[in-house]
Structure 1
Amino acid sequence: MTVQLLSPEGMLQPVPYSHVSVATGSRHVHVAGQIGRDPDTDQMADDLAGQVAQALRNTARGLAGAGATFADVVRLRFFVTQWSPEKMGDFMTGVELVARELGLPQPMPPASLIGVDILFEADVLVELEAYAVLT
Structure 2
Amino acid sequence: MPVTLLNPDGIMKPDVYRQVAIATGTRQVHIAGQVAYDAEGQLVARGDLAGQVAQAYRNVAIALAAAGATFDDVVRLTFYVVDWKRESMPDFLAGIEQVARELRISPAPASLIGVSVLYEPGVLVEIEATAVVG
SS class of match (1:75): strand
Comparing 124-133 with 91-100, which one deviates more in the overlay?
A: 91-100
Are the aligned partners of 1:55 and 1:126 in contact in 2 as well (CA < 8 Å)?
yes
| Total equivalences in the alignment | 133
1:54-69 matches, cutoff 5 A: 54-69=55-70
* Structure 2 gap ranges (5+): none
Q: Structure 1 residue 34: deviation in Å?
A: 0.2
* Structure 1 gap ranges (5+): none
Q: Structure 1 residue 41: deviation in Å?
A: 6.3
Which stretches of structure 1, 4 residues or longer, exceed 2 Å deviation after superposition? Answer: none
Q: Which residue is 1:118 aligned to?
A: 117
Cα distance 1:131–1:8, how it changes in 2: closer, same or farther (>3 A)? same
Q: Structure 1 residue 96: deviation in Å?
A: 1.1
Q: Which residue is 2:108 aligned to?
A: 109
Q: Structure 1 residue 32: deviation in Å?
A: 1.0
Q: Which residue is 1:19 aligned to?
A: 19
Coordinate RMSD, CA, aligned: 1.1
Distance in 2 (alpha carbons) for counterparts of 1:42 and 1:118: 19
TM-score, with normalisation over the residues of structure 2? Answer: 0.95
TM-score, with normalisation over the residues of structure 1? Answer: 0.94
